[in-house]
């Protein structure tokens, strides 16, 4: 579908916790320093990136901005003797499975190093590569994939000096809401876009239209007094909930023909994965990951589990993701 696109800017934001609540995978350097990395194609014409694990490799990793966790395969574990550190529930679209976790001291790609990862272990034949770079390795970054030169650039879209008139498509899936200065970011991207370049992005609508996304906070707030309040238009998940404000931001930064369209998507995941979801995702998961005592953690999960039962349908959790699909065009 995107074969005709020669350069795509992809913006995304990572979840704020890891697979394991007490894991703290962090980059060696604070802030997203620009990195430039050549990419390869595997036999299925998928883009892969060379990755070093604990100083060994390179191994070929796919990039998946929809995967929460970085995944490794048995080949890497067998090569390096990586220690196993328990198990976790791996939740995919329509399925879930218990998998082993392995400990990685250092994962390095391009000029970036991530330390202290706990990664799910999968079979290579199931993913067709040595591993997958997920959002725990790509957190707080913006990725440019240039198909003409087969290179990947990791940089701050607000300030990076992109070549002028380069992109012929710019897309973001739930990432633009995290820009500190959205006008500056979109102005910079507009400068880098060719005339007529399409901007296509997805963001969340109002919290009131996404009750599943706020149910955990409402239930857990009495037990977690430090849980932050949602502020309208603040940087974060619902920062672009006001379509009129978003259209103004884009117009102010030089984009034309801005159109926002409501998009409702039914989402499902196994009811059996609910406790894992509660303890890992969103502000409640982040608060738990910061180190609450075990009694409080169990009480929070019990309360939130009960709050989420209104979304239960048999052995699944079913909810509607209320989103905006926003399109614009560079002058």
pLDDT of residue 183: 96
Cα distances from 172 to residues 65, 80, 139, 328, in angstroms, run 10, 36, 14, 12
Does 173 map to a domain?
no
Q: Are strands 26-27 and 112-122 parallel, antiparallel or unpaired?
A: antiparallel
Q: How many domains does the chain have?
A: 2
**Which residue among 140, 161, 183 closes a domain?**
140
* Pair (319, 224) in one structural domain: yes
- Domain assignment of residue 51, given as a range: 14-140
Does 267 map to a domain?
yes
CA distance 40 to 310: 46
Does 35 map to a domain?
yes
| Per-residue model confidence as pLDDT tens digits over 200-252 | 999 999 999 999 988 888 888 888 888 888 888 898 889 999 999 999 999 99
Is residue 179 classed as helix, strand or coil in its secondary structure?
A: coil
* Pair (35, 131) in one structural domain: yes
Q: Mention every residue, 6+ apart, whose C-beta is less than 8 A from residue 15.
A: 68, 135, 136, 139, 280, 281, 285
**Which residue among 124, 140, 156 closes a domain?**
140
Q: What is the 3-state secondary structure (H, E, C) of 41-102?
A: ECCCCCEEEEEEECCEEEEEEEECCCCCCCEEEHHHHHHHCCCEEEEEEEEECCEEEEEEEE
pLDDT of residue 263: 95
* Pair (123, 31) in one structural domain: yes
* Pair (244, 325) in one structural domain: yes
Task: Name the CA dihedral angle for 127, 10, 329, 260, rounded to a multiple of 10 degrees.
Answer: 80
* Pair (213, 319) in one structural domain: yes
Give the residue, 95 or 204, on which the prediction is more confident. 204
Q: Which of 166, 281, 132, 149 is nearest to 157 (CA)?
A: 166
Cβ 195 vs Cβ 169: under 8 Å = no
Does 280 map to a domain?
yes
pLDDT bucket at 21, cuts 50 / 70 / 90: very low
**Hey, which bits of 110-141 come out as E strands?**
112-122, 131-133
Q: Is the pLDDT of residue 24 over 60?
A: no
| Per-residue model confidence as pLDDT tens digits over 274-305 | 777 776 667 887 777 666 788 888 888 889 88
Cα distances from 3 to residues 97, 128, 187, 202, 307, in angstroms, run 34, 21, 26, 21, 44
Q: Is the pLDDT of residue 25 over 50?
A: no
* Pair (206, 326) in one structural domain: yes
Q: How much of the chain exceeds pLDDT 90, in percent?
A: 34
Does 285 map to a domain?
yes
**CATH code, domain carrying 261:** 3.40.50.150
Does 183 map to a domain?
no
**Which residue among 105, 124, 140 closes a domain?**
140
Does 18 map to a domain?
yes
Does 248 map to a domain?
yes
* Pair (207, 131) in one structural domain: no
**CATH code, domain carrying 117:** 2.40.70.10
């Amino acid at each position: 579908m995107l074969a005709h696109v020669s350069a795509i800017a992809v913006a995304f934001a990572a979840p704020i916790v890891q697979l394991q609540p007490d894991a703290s995978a962090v980059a060696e350097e604070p802030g997203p320093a620009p990195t430039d990395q050549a990419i390869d194609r595997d036999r299925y014409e998928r883009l892969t990136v060379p990755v070093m694990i604990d100083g060994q490799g390179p191994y070929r990793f796919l990039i998946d901005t929809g995967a929460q966790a970085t995944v490794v395969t048995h080949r890497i574990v067998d090569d390096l003797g990586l220690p196993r550190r328990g198990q976790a529930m791996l939740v995919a679209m329509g399925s879930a499975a218990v998998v082993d976790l392995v400990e990685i001291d250092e994962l390095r790609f391009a000029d970036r190093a991530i330390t202290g990862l706990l990664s799910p272990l999968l079979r290579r034949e199931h993913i067709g590569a040595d591993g997958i770079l997920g959002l725990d390795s790509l957190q707080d970054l913006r990725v440019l994939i240039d198909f003409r030169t087969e290179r990947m650039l990791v940089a701050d879209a607000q300030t990076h000096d992109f070549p002028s008139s380069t992109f012929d498509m710019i897309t973001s899936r739930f990432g633009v809401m995290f820009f500190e200065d959205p006008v500056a970011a979109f102005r910079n991207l507009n400068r880098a876009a060719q005339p007529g370049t399409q901007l296509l992005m997805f963001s969340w609508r109002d919290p009131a239209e996404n009750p599943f996304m706020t149910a955990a906070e409402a239930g857990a707030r009495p037990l977690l007094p430090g849980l932050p309040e949602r502020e309208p238009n603040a940087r974060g998940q619902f920062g672009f909930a006001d379509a009129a404000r978003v259209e103004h931001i884009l117009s102010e930064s030089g984009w034309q023909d801005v159109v926002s369209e409501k998009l409702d998507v039914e989402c499902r995941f196994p009811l059996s994965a609910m406790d894992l979801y509660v303890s890992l995702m969103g502000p409640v998961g982040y608060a738990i990951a910061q180190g609450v005592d075990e009694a409080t953690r169990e009480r929070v999960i019990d309360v939130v589990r009960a709050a989420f039962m209104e979304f239960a349908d048999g052995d699944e959790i079913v909810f509607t993701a209320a989103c905006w699909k926003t399109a614009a065009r560079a002058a």
